[in-house]
Structure 1
Amino acid sequence: MIDVAEQPLHGIKVLDLGRALAGPLCSLMLGDLGADIIKIEPPGLGDDSRAWPPFKNGESTYFASANRNKRSIVLDLGKPEGQDIFRKMVKSADVVLENYRHGVMDRWGIGYEALCELNPSLVYCSITGFGRTGPYATKPATDIYMQAFSGLMSVTGEVGGGPIRTGVSICDLTAGMFASLGITAALQARQKTGRGQLVDTSLLDGQLAYLSYLLTAFGATKEVPGKSGSGHPSVVPYQAFQASDGWVTLAAFNDRIWQRAAVAMELGHLTSDPLFITNVERVKNRDELIPIMQERFSTKTVDEWVSLMEDNDVPLAPVNTIEQIMSHPQVLHRDMIQEIDHPVAGKLSVFGFPMKFSETPCSNRYPPPTLGQHTNEILNEFGFSDSEISELKNLFVVSSGKI
């Protein structure tokens, strides 16, 4: 039995204005670590992702994937009464998280400068497309926009082919992860100083960080990185190959592994060929090497290659489908697929906690909330009486959900 009170972020109250994926992924991580996440949603449809298919019993599985361990309140921040309620909540909150376009919160009178006057110990995290400073600060951005703008799509896809979006919303996910790291660091700094601060991150900032070695390579060589398909610009062979009944990936990231792989494939003579003897030479001569290897890979099944390479201590993996990986014994052993009971959708599978703590493990306390499910409960906690809540509902400032 997990003692929630012992979790790292127990006692931290987060006012979560995150929408879609970047903000919600950030607050999910904080919630898994024990923080009290109060998800503040606008009237009507609430978080945009509630309307994104596929659905189960009318509930979006996309929304469900990023919103466990949260309580939902519907609050109209566009109305003065809603802004007043939010200010009252901020006075006793630890964190405000939002991913609105820069300037929106200021127009409502609840931006960083205004809120830190109310609560100097507040950690305020802003996730935007481009950051809060610079010539593009007020421009909006979505995940695919940033995949294109950041340069990611220029290096994604087959050689000679068009730009390809990654299979997941990597820019949103990256920004959410960096935001959660920034918030926890700011909370740690507050322990020392007693003061909160602004945490400013963006889809652009996060993606530039993830482009990593490609940026450094260009800076050194002035050669513009291009597409490598499933391969790698700096390591060969390091890519996918087609077996007789599916696909595998080989990761020969040093010469020792290359030698073992070549011997296992009965291509040992290539290890002494001057064209392929070192990784530097293999990168130069990949167009000669890869077809030879592909021809050999086509002679065996995926399972045969996996078994053969494991016997020779060579990292080769099957290209699994989502169905296959969700039932894999290693994934199940690590509790990376968990089942939750949603009040409307019923049982749903979600990813497990990607961090394992020996003493203070993460916990799954709340299923993803229905829209406004906890409005009354949360307002009561912040000192609003039932009669005041009824009046606010009559003014359409707040509303409650169906559960």
Structure 2
Amino acid sequence: MKMKPAVAVIGAAAVAVSMAGCSGNNASTQSTTASQLTVMVTNSPSATALQAIAPAYEKKTGTKIDFVTVSGDQLATKLVLSGKSKTATFDIAQFDQPQLASIVPAHALLPLDKYLTSDKTYDFSDFQKPLQEYTQIDGTSYGIPLSTEPYVNFYRTDLFDQAGLKAPTTWSEVDAAAKAISAAGGYGFDGPYGPTLDSGPEYFERLLENGGRLLDPKSGEPLLDSKLAIDVMKDTIDLAKYSPPSTLAGTAGDSATAFTQQNVGQNIQPSGWYGTLDDPKSSKAVGKIGVAPVPSATVGPYQPANILKGWVIGINANTQHAAAAWNFLSFALGKDNVQKFIDAGAPVPGRTSTLQSTKYNGELPYLKYLLPSIQSGTTLPVIPELTQITVDVCQAMSKMANQGADVSSTMKSLNEQVKQLLVQDGRIKQ
């Protein structure tokens, strides 16, 4: 992934973050042991799995593992501030892959290639090339997969059986199933269509699976006013009439809740949501969840692709305990701890050996679809503007789904809005 220089924008509230801690990555980073390591995480099944694994590492090495939990939108901010101040109040950090565009220019993450090439126990070769590249900027690895969550279509097997439907394999079948299940008294689809960051990626997934792209891969120009982008948005918005009211202004979490509590036929989400949807403590859909791959169609000019999703974890560039931090990551995310991730309800890191395992496929029905999704997978543009672009798309989707805004004119205005953002930042020319 090539990335042009960019300025990371930090919220004013982040100034309050503590700057205390050790600074500088000096010779002591070569020590493979440390009395204590601090891991910054956000509330997620992946973080829960790490916390479940930590005691075994503490017992094995004597190194105490402390966890500091922050909101997901603060992960990048705290990493960037750490890089700019050259301090380390944490040694290891969880973050989202698109955040690399802001974190790496701040020199906040340690390049990991020397560990990845030398640590045969961790075995980086056990990951498919798209996943190896998932955490790279300009060919340098700044993290490793903490979870691997390409999109899949979760569907209710009981509702499909009652309607005489089979698992959809094309987009027209997805749309037809939504209509049929709604006609039978349920909800055929499951948003979300709210103005937050969640609705846009659902549209992006359908766009890419139809051979479209958000930006022109060569020129960087936005493509949201193309015929394909507009047609895909029309199909996406058309599904809103089959969705529960709570998802029309809601988030991905609201969609998951609706799927677990109401008669919802389909929910296209990152595969990591499976643990939530099938949780016997909170879901009424347990035992009734089928999984199908997201349909792919050669409509647009580009190769149809599933959007790679998943948490990443890396090492603070300013820690004095880099080698010890790597040792913990190598242990926690190694092959021997896959079962603990599954037991914690967390999506697995996506090792090929895991995805091909008969045992693990028997426990997680979505695993069999992950390998082909990874092999053909891609990422959204790794640029700092992606967050704002996604917000703009989400707000436009909410207007189209909830206020009846015309799709064609809204998409053309949206494309101009995105273009001006990219021009302003110097990414493209007027």
Task: Tell whether the structures are fold-level matches, with TM greater than 0.5.
Answer: no
Larger % of helix: which?
2
Q: If you compute each CA radius of gyration, which structure gives the higher value, 1 or 2?
A: 1
TM-score, normalised via structure 2 length? 0.23
Larger % of strand: which?
1
| Structure ranking higher on relative contact order (CA contacts 8 Å, 6+ apart) | 2
